[in-house]
Chains A and B, each alone.
Chain A
Amino acid sequence: MTAKLDTLAQLLDERLGDRIVAQRRALNELTIEVGVDRYREVLQTLRDDPELAFDQLIDLCGVDYSTWGAREQRARRFAVVVHLLSIDRNWRLRVRCFAEDDGFPMVPSLTPLWTCADWFEREAFDLFGIVFPGHEDLRRILTDYGFVGHPFRKDFPVSGHVEMRYDPTQQRVVYQPVSIEPREVIPRIVREDKYGNPRHG
């Protein structure tokens, strides 16, 4: 497995060179980071190069890094993470691309390269509000018809903003502001370094 990753890492260096911003290897997985301007071009190479041969787009998702608490900081808020698989070479790759503008994140669409990017991008648009120029049919997909907001952004509460109920006087379903208080049962904790180490005191 590691020998295979070595080959892949080397191949990526050769074929993509300075077109990738960073290459990272952790937990037997390879991640590359690309800028928005070279994103489509890099993925085209990854797909079409006969040696790399990433013929399958396994997954595409958005990530909101706005409350990221880890040591390694992120400069931008929204990223699109793509998982690729090559059936012929039997290897995987993760590609991350940060959107430039936090207010209006935009990442080029991959639909011309992989048909299945269609729904994945609609999902990322729906849940994170990332816009994919080049996508022909960027509608909401998972949320309700007429939904407002992008629910997977970190500033969107779990309980949402509106709730729905049947109103017997109007004899129809109505929306109203949520009546439940947001609560957190178990707080989110990031432990300090060396916690639990007996010598730490």
Chain B
Amino acid sequence: MAELRNYTLNFGPQHPAAHGVLRLVLELDGEVVERADPHIGLLHRATEKLAEHRTWLQSVPYMDRLDYVSMMCNEHAYCMAIEKLLGIEPPLRALYIRTLFDEVTRILNHLLNIGTHALDVGAMSIMLYTFREREDLIDAYEAVSGSRMHAAYYRPGGVYRDLPDRMPQYRESKWKDPATVKALNEARSGSLLDYLDDFCTRFPKYIDEYATLLNENRIWKQRLVGIGVVSAERARQLGFSGVMLRGSGVEWDLRKKQPYAAYDRVDFDVPVGVTGDSYDRYLCRMEEMRQSTRIMKQCIDWLRVNPGPVITDNAKVAPPSREAMKSNMEELIHHFKLFSEGMHVPEGEAYAAVEHPKGEFGIYLVSDGANKPYRMKIRAPGFVHLAAMDEMARGHMIADVVTIIGSQDIVFGEIDR
């Protein structure tokens, strides 16, 4: 009889399937995981401490760097917490723009997740397709904020500026002949809303393509079905939220239950899983992308016919227009004070949560009335999900750990903060 030995295996922190800098210490009995101990913090930047030393506005770009695949949703929670403390309500158009871009972000996040998750478990091509669509949406990010990833577009009181009327165009070059450029620019001939509208028309077909590649794929199903099963009761106990909770059959979506932005004005459905395994969570994400497209469409239709301000006119919170600033002394002072000293937020504490693509992303702010937060706590969904890694991986094979990481949708920017 062969001699059996237990191994302790160090997985990561530079493993490509670890989705960042996860170091997992796995205790193995043969190929079976007996204990998984995630070591995190390798990407710890002390965002919460830094925020205590920055003005309220200066921390907005830090939010992008938390979960760096769903940037605007992070900003949304932060801005909502500040608005709650200030007691201001952004204009309706800003709420719709936020809803639109939250859904763009959700699709961005799920595309990345499904693509890389499939890559981890052995399906190469899907990633190329999902990244093709991500590119389109990242262009929308760029058009609206000037930045492809770290947008800093949501501001306390609204959004930075209104949606642009025209999209940046491709130009002819050594690599792109006139015919290619013409084809590429076709969707970009109108405004950003036209561009996104066109995307919403095309996108459901792409989701069908992904479904063809994965849904009934034998290898994909063998790797996912029955892996990382979490019961509804355990999911609550473990503090799960978002897809991780819905995959286990709990119907809970903050967009429906505690609506924010314009979610109570749009129509959409919330997909819920049955068995709570990795495959159900994958199916939930696929359906969420379809629902996101639906929400985007409704927002686009509304935004087309309802012009208006996109940021509050409260000069103590939002900067005045450039034009006003250059012709009016008072506006100049406001501008100067806002960008030097920063805004003051009344004493108090607030918790604001959004339905982030990964789960409930919350910001807990404590203010003592200064121009900087006294304490900020980021409630990152991934942190809680990764904490359950031990329970989810126990008894599975070592290869299934990769599936579970992918299905938890781990991103280290938010876990390590």
In Å, the complex CA distance between A99 and B368 comes to 20
Contact indicator A141/B53 (Cβ below 8 Å) = no
Complex CA–CA separation, A93 to B296 (angstroms): 32
Q: Which A residues have a C-beta under 8 Å from some C-beta of B?
A: 26-29, 31, 55-59, 61, 63-64, 68-72, 81, 83, 87, 90, 92, 94, 114-116, 118-119, 140-144, 151-152, 158, 184, 186, 188-191, 196
CB < 8 Å: which of A27, A90, A119 contacts B348? A27
Q: Which residues of B (5-63) have their CB < 8 Å from a CB of A?
A: 40-41, 44, 46, 48-50, 53-55
CB-CB under 8 A from A189, the residues of chain B are 341, 344, 370-371
Please determine whether A87 and B236 come into contact, CB atoms closer than 8 angstroms: yes
**Is B369 a contact partner of A70 (Cβ separation < 8 A)?**
yes
Distance in angstroms between the alpha carbons of A72 and B233 in the assembled complex = 40
A59 to B378, CA, bound (A): 9
Given A144-B41, A158-B49, A69 contacting B258 (CB threshold 8 A)? no
A125 CB, min distance to chain B CBs, angstroms: 13
Is there contact, CB below 8 Å, between A114 and B239?
A: yes
Q: Does B304 contact A (CB under 8 A)?
A: no
What is the bound-complex CA distance between A68 and B349, given in angstroms? 13
Q: List 7 A-B contacts (CB under 8 A).
A: A58-B362, A69-B368, A90-B258, A116-B388, A141-B41, A186-B340, A188-B370
- Measured CB to CB, the closest approach of chain B to A61, in angstroms, equals 4
**Contact in complex: A190, B369 (CB < 8 Å):** yes
Q: Which residues of B contact A158 (CB under 8 A)?
A: 46, 49-50, 53
- B53's nearest neighbour on chain A, judged by CB, is A158
A58 touches B237 (CB 8 A): no
A143 to B368, CA, bound (A): 27
Across the interface, B368 reaches (CB within 8 A) one of A27, A61, A68, namely A68
* A87 and B40 contact, Cβ closer than 8 Å, known pairs A55-B236, A81-B364, A115-B237: no
Residues A58 and B368 in contact, CB atoms below 8 Å apart: no
Contact A83 B374 (CB under 8 A): no
Which residue of B is nearest A70, CB measured? B368
Report whether B350 and A184 are in contact in the complex, using a CB–CB cutoff of 8 Å: no
Q: Which of B75-102 contact A (CB under 8 A)?
A: 84-85, 87
Contact partner, A27, options B48, B85, B388, Cβ 8 Å: B85
Chain B residues positioned under 8 Å from A140 (CB to CB) = 41
By a CB distance below 8 angstroms, the chain A residues around B375 are 63-64
B167 at interface by CB-CB < 8 Å: no
Distance in Å: Cβ of A197 to nearest Cβ of chain B: 12
Closest residue of chain A to B370 (Cβ to Cβ) is A190
The interface residues of chain B lying within 8 Å CB-to-CB of A28 are 84
Are A27 and B371 in contact (CB-based, < 8 A)? no
Is there an interface contact between A143 and B369, defined as CB atoms closer than 8 Å? no
Assess whether A29 is in contact with B239, with CB atoms less than 8 Å apart: no
A152 surroundings in chain B (CB, below 8 A) = 46, 48-49
A56 touching B239 by the CB < 8 A rule?
yes
